[in-house]
Structure 1
Amino acid sequence: MTGLAAAAVSSHREDDTSGSVDDDDVDERDRELAAARARLEAARQQKAALAQNAKILRAELRALRDEQLDLEDDLFRELTGTGLILSSVVQGSTRWNRTRTERFTASQFGVVCGVSRYARGIDLWMLRTGRIENPFRGNADTERGNLLEPVALRWYERAYQEHVQTTGFWVCQEASYLGASPDGLVGDDGLLEIKCPRHAPHTSVPSHYMAQIQGQLHITKRKWCDFVSYHEKEDPVVLRVYYSPSYWAWMLPQLRAFYFHIQTDEPPPKLPLENLTARQKQADALCRVEPRPRE
């Protein structure tokens, strides 16, 4: 074999050896990648299992909380001998606040049913499932209401020769996770709901207040509510809102569905904002409202 041929053979053997080493490196990298993918998939499965366990634990906790509420409701029924449940806790007290946080209340019904322009159901769901904290600690409007509502109540009693009885927290007979805190009871059949807007009295009942009032009327088994819109610099407006079984029949399935979403930790569907006005008109059309003239 000539020197040139020997050099070519030697070079070919070196190329074969180099290719063999490269193939081994590739195989090793493939094995490492496969192992990494397997570890990643195992971690994902473990994370999913932990999330599922957490979901089950949250549901069990809420079920226990609901069972506690049912036991409290049974106790109320046994003590009062009635189907209606009236809690004696005073509005604004520590126990009143705790009782409210265990349920969602009539003031939130408009949010749940998508007739409020100030909040969305998904935000309330996130709050009730512990995903966010409630940042609201009061503002100028709530301070104004706390200051003027007693004044408005006394004005109403004088203007209409009515006696308003203060009351506590009411729990819904059919659904113990629903509650209401009316501003007052009027006679045997009526409620009082007071609002103190900043700029001018309402000339009609806003849709989110209508949901609140209809919820209060159903829970307390009252026939009507006088909606007082009070402004210290203008004549107050009083509108009588009558209980609407049709409105309650429209609202209750939505409240139950929302409670189910809280229990299962599944988010409720988002209602499109562009349909807000249509939803408000549809709901308000179910209600009868009349101005109450001064006697």
Structure 2
Amino acid sequence: MRILDIEQGSQAWYAARLGVPTASEFGSIITPKKGEYAAAADTYINQLIDELMRPEAAESFGGNRHTLRGKELEPDAREYYAFEQDVVPQQVGFILNDAGTLGCSPDSLIGADGGLEIKCPDGPTHVKWVRAGGIPDEHKPQVHGSLIITGRAWWDFLSYCPGYEPLLVRVTPDGFTEKLQGHLDRFVREYHAARAKFLPGVA
């Protein structure tokens, strides 16, 4: 993996992500329940090509109330995790896989083997996730994708909502990871073939 030392949300971060399939969007490539190649993959290819063709249109410095809530509470969640796990989370900007074909923006890397994904949902969503147990389906592709991109041995998923006990789930590579890897390989091939029609000079 290659770590880019840039601030998440900065101009440099947006520039580094342009046209790169990122773990946060892997739900468009694999269905979390059945692990099948998602119908939305083709739409995601169109989006990535448009990012490269019109970079100015791809930037979005706003965010809805859920993303803004996450930005406000994430430092508290990271501090809680650091204390409970007795670790020093390493904040990074953007990570590319060895081939440079996939990327992710982890909330933290943990030691030499782990990573951390933090979500700060509203109360009802947190309750739903706690009741269900395990990692929420909607975030499985992102977490397993981060494992693939970084080659790390495990990834912790933390749901943090003030007023509740946090939900902490450790995820390790499994059959879902293998399915995702296969779908990512297919996606990258199809994406690069489609991209060549618009940007023939881009490998």
TM bucket by the smaller chain?
A: 0.7 to 0.9
2:157–2:170: 8 Å Cα contact kept in structure 1?
A: yes
Instruction: Tell me, yes or no, if structure 1 residue 121 matches structure 2 residue 45.
Output: no
Contact 2:21 2:101 in 1 (8 A): yes
**Which residue of 1 is the match for residue 4 of structure 2?**
87
More helix per residue: 1 or 2? 1
Instruction: State whether residues 19 and 49 of structure 2, in contact with CA within 8 Å, keep that contact through their aligned partners in structure 1.
Output: no
Query: Matched residues in 2 for 1:259 and 1:187: separation?
Result: 30
Bigger Cα Rg: 1
The size of the alignment, in residue pairs, is 179
Residue identity opposite 1:167 in structure 2 = V
| Alignment partner, residue 159 of structure 1 | 84
TM-score (norm 1): 0.55
Q: Does 1:178 align with 2:102?
A: yes
Structure 1 residue 139, shift from structure 2 partner: 0.5
Q: Does 1:189 align with 2:113?
A: yes
Return the offset for 1:89: 2.0
The answer for unaligned runs of 5 or more in structure 2 is 34-38, 196-203
Helix, strand or coil at the partner of 2:123: coil
C-alpha distance after superposition, 1:29-53 (max 9, x if no partner): xxxxxxxxxxxxxxxxxxxxxxxxx
Match of 2:152 in 1: 222
Maintained 8 Å contact 1:190/1:222:
yes
| Aligned alpha-carbon RMSD (Å) | 2.5
Which consecutive unaligned segments of at least 5 residues does structure 1 have?
1-83, 267-295
State the distance in 1 between where 2:40 and 2:72 align: 28
- TM-score, normalising length: structure 2: 0.77
Identity, in percent, stands at 32
Question: Contact between 1:111 and 1:208, CA under 8 Å: does it hold in 2?
Answer: no
Q: What letter corresponds to residue 259 of structure 1 in structure 2? A: V
Cα distance, 1:115–1:122 mapped onto 2, change above 3 Å? farther
CA 1:186–1:263: 2 relative to 1, 3 Å: closer
Superposed CA deviations along residues 149-198 of structure 1, whole A, max 9, x for unmatched, are 1111111112222211111211112x421011111111221111100111
C-alpha deviations, 1:83-104, integer Å up to 9, x for none?
Answer: x322222222211111112311
Partner residue of 1:213? 143
- Superposed CA deviations along residues 15-35 of structure 1, whole A, max 9, x for unmatched, are xxxxxxxxxxxxxxxxxxxxx
